[in-house]
Chain A
Amino acid sequence: MIASLAWKNVWRNKKRSLIIIFATALGLWGSLLAGAIWMGWGESMVNTAIARDLSHIQIHRKGYFQNKEVENYIPNGFNILGELSRIPGIKAVSGRTLVEGMAASPTSTFGVKIVGIVPSQAKKVTDIYNRLTAGNYFAGGGRNPIVIGKKLADRLGLKLHSKIVLSFQGFGSSLNYAAFRIIGIYKTDSSIFDQSNVFVRQSDLFRILGHTPVIHEIAIRVQSSQIMPQVYNIVQEKYTHLDVQTWEEIAPEVAFTSAAMESFTYIFIGIILFALLFGITNTMLMAVMERVRELGVLIAVGMTKGKVFTMILLETIILSITGGVAGIVIGGLTISYFSRTGIDLSALASSMETFGTSTSLRPFLPLDMYIALPVMIIITAIFSAVLPAWKAINIQPSAAIRTY
C-alpha cells in the first residue's frame, strides 16, 4: 500500500512529474545515442583495421619488429601455414612476404611496404580486393602486376596501367629494382594505409629477390572474435619460438580507442545523470514541501520515519525509472534504426580516413550497458531522494498539522 501511495503521489502533479520524466528520458536518449555513436566509431576502427590488414592474430619471427630486414623471415613458414589451417576455429590464413622499399614514378618517390601475397589466400583474410576503385585484384596474368592505394597513386601522379618502379634491399644487402604495372587501385578508410602499402604476387617478389620462397608474416582470421582468446592460446603454445600476437597487441592504439569509447560513454551518461540528480531532487523537494501537513498527519497517526523515508524514496525511484526506461527504450530504438541504416558521415570523409574509420557509422551499445543503465538510474534516484526524504522525516507533526 505504501508503494501504491507512492505511485499515486507521483501523479498528483502530472505536469511537474511529466516534465522531469521527459527531461530524464531526453537526457538518457541523447547520452545513449552519443555513446552508441562513439562506440560504433571505436568498433568501426577495430573492424576496419582487422579486415584491412591486421586480421585477428599475426605471427612473426621473434624480433621482427625491431629489425625488419628481409632475412628475418619465419623459419619453415610455409609448413606452419599448412599446420595452422588445420587448427579448429581458424577460418583462414595468409602468408605475407614483406619488404620495405621505395616506390617511384617519373615525377616522385615515396617509401612503401611491399607486401607479397598469394591473392587467393589474401582474399580470405583481408578485404582489399573489395575496396578497388579501379582495375582488378590480380585477376589476369601479365608480368609484375601491382595493386596500390589511391592515395599513393595520387601522390606519385599514377593511374591504372601506369608503370611504377619499386626499389628494395634483397638478401645479402643486394639492391633490387623492378618495374610493375598497376592493375588495381584500392581505397580503404585509412589514407595512411593507402599511401604506404602496395601488393604484389609472392611469386614475382621471389623471382626478383632471387631467393627460395619465404614469408615474414602469417595473418590469421578466426571464425568469431569470441573464440579468439582460445585460438590464440593454442597457437602461442604450439609456436613458442615465434612472436604470436593478437591485433590488440599489434595495434594497441586501436584497442585503446575502442576501450576508451566505452569508458567515455559511461562517463558521459554519469555526467547526464548527475545533472538530472539536481532536477529530480528539486522536484521531490517541491513535492515534499507541498505535502508538509499531510506528511505531518502520517507521522502523527503512527507512520514511522523509516516508512516515510521509504515512501519518498519509492516516489523518487518511480519518477526516475519511468523517465529512465522511456529514455532507454527510445534510445534503444533510435540506435537499432541507425545501426541498420548507418549514419552517413561522408561529408567528413577526409577526417574520418585519418582515423581509419568508415564514413558510414553504425552506432551500437553492448548489452551490459543496457543492464548497467537502470542500476545507474536507481543509484541516482536514491541520491536524489536523500534530501527530500530527510526533510520529510524531520517534519514536526504538531506544527505540520496546522500548516495551510
Chain B
Amino acid sequence: MPLIELHSLSKVYDDTAFPVHAVKKINLQIEKGEFTAIVGPSGSGKTTLLNLIGGLDKPTEGSVSIEGVDISTLKSSELTNFRLHHIGFVFQAYNLIPVFTARENVEFIMLLQNVSKAEREKRAIELLEAVGLGDRINSRPSQLSGGQQQRVAVARALASRPNFVLADEPTANLDSSAAESLLDMMAQLNKDYEMTFVFSTHDPRVIQRARRVVILQDGAVISDA
C-alpha cells in the first residue's frame, strides 16, 4: 500500500467571479522512504497540492489517502488529530513560536500528543542534536540564523514521529550554504530513518538532490520521474 495516494484530485477556488482550477485531476502515489520534489513555476499549484496532501485544505473532487485512510472524508477535529500524529510540516518562513526556545518549540508538538514531560525533553534534545543544534537548545528563534531556525522546524516536524514530512519551499529563505546544509541533513534523515520527505520547491538545489521530481504546470502533472 502506498504511503500517500492521490486519486483524481482536483481543487477549484470558486469564491471569486472567475473560478481558479488550482489542481486538476492529479493521480499520484508516494511510497515510504521517498525523497520527492514537487516543482513548477509560481501559480502551478504546488502549494495547493501540498495543502491537500497535508489535510490543510479539502479537495473539490477526488481523494487523498494516507496509509489507506481517506483524509478528505475526515471531520475537522479528526483531521487535526490526524495531522498531529501522521504528518510533519516544514514551512518556508520557519514559523516557530517566537516566545519559546528551540527545545520548547520541539517539545510543544509532543505536548499536544500528551507525551510525558520526561519523554518530551529527552526526545527534543535528541532531535536538536540530530539537526546539529545540540548547543542551541535554549536559544529563542530570534537568536538563531535562518538556517538554524529551519533546522529547529525540521526537528519540530519530526518530533511527533510522523509518517512523512511535507516541506513547503524549505530553502526559499536560506542562503546557499544554509540550504545545502539543510538538504544534507534531510537527506541523512531520509537515509538513516527512512523518513519520507515531500517538498514543494523551485530551488534547483533541492531538485538536484531529490530522487523523484514531479513537475506541475497549470495544476496538472506534466512530468513524474
The yes or no verdict on A and B being binding partners is yes
CB contacts (< 8 Å) of A401 on chain B: these are: 56, 91, 95, 168
Determine how close the nearest CB of chain B comes to the CB of A16; give it in whole angstroms. Answer: 15
In A366-401, the 8 Å CB interface with B consists of 397-398, 401
Contact B89 A1 (CB under 8 A): no
Hey, which chain B residues are within 8 Å of A347, CB to CB?
Answer: none
**Best-buried of A8, A301, A304 by chain B (most CB within 10 Å):** A301
**How many positions in chain A have a CB within 8 Å of any CB in the partner chain?**
23
The distance from the CB of B75 to the nearest CB of chain A, in whole angstroms, is 12
Interface hit among B65-73, B97-105, B188-196, B213-221: B97-105
Residues of B within 8 A of A297 (CB): 89, 91, 95
Separation in Å of the B90 CB from the closest CB of chain A?
A: 10
Question: Which of B51, B81, B111 meets A1, CB within 8 Å?
Answer: B111
- Contact partner, A301, options B98, B107, B109, Cβ 8 Å: B109
Query: Whole-angstrom distance between the alpha carbons of A398 and B99 in the complex?
Result: 23
B42 within 8 A of A: no
Q: Collect the chain A residues with CB atoms within 8 Å of residue B81's CB.
A: 302, 304
Please measure, in the bound complex, the distance between the C-alpha atom of A302 and the C-alpha atom of B57, giving whole angstroms.
Answer: 14
* Interface pair A5/B100, CB less than 8 Å apart: yes
B107 and A300 contact, CB distance less than 8 A:
no
Q: Does A294 contact B (CB under 8 A)?
A: yes
Q: Could you tell me the distance between the alpha carbons of A144 and B221 in the complex, rounded to whole angstroms?
A: 119
Q: Which residues of B contact A298 (CB under 8 A)?
A: 97
Nearest residue (CB) in B for A12 is B99
Q: Identify the closest chain A residue to B55 (Cβ).
A: A300
A5-B100, A294-B97, A297-B91 known; A303 vs B112 contact (CB < 8 Å)? yes
- The A-contacting residues of B in range 137-166, CB under 8 angstroms, are 156, 160
Q: How far is the CA of A300 from the CA of B57 in the complex (A)?
A: 10
User: Within 8 Å of chain B (Cβ to Cβ): is A62?
Assistant: no
Contacts of B85 in A (CB 8 A): 302
**What mask results when residues 11 to 49 of chain B are scored 1 for a CB within 8 Å of chain A, else 0?**
000000000000000000000000000000000000100
A-B contacts, 7 of them at CB < 8 A, read: A5-B99, A12-B99, A294-B98, A297-B89, A300-B83, A302-B109, A302-B112
Whether A360 sits at the interface, judged by CB under 8 Å, is no
Most buried by B among A2, A9, A398: A398
Contact B51 A398, beta carbon cutoff 8 Å: yes
State in angstroms the CA–CA spacing of A5 and B156 once bound together. Answer: 16
A293: which of B77, B95, B100 is its contact (CB, 8 Å)? B95
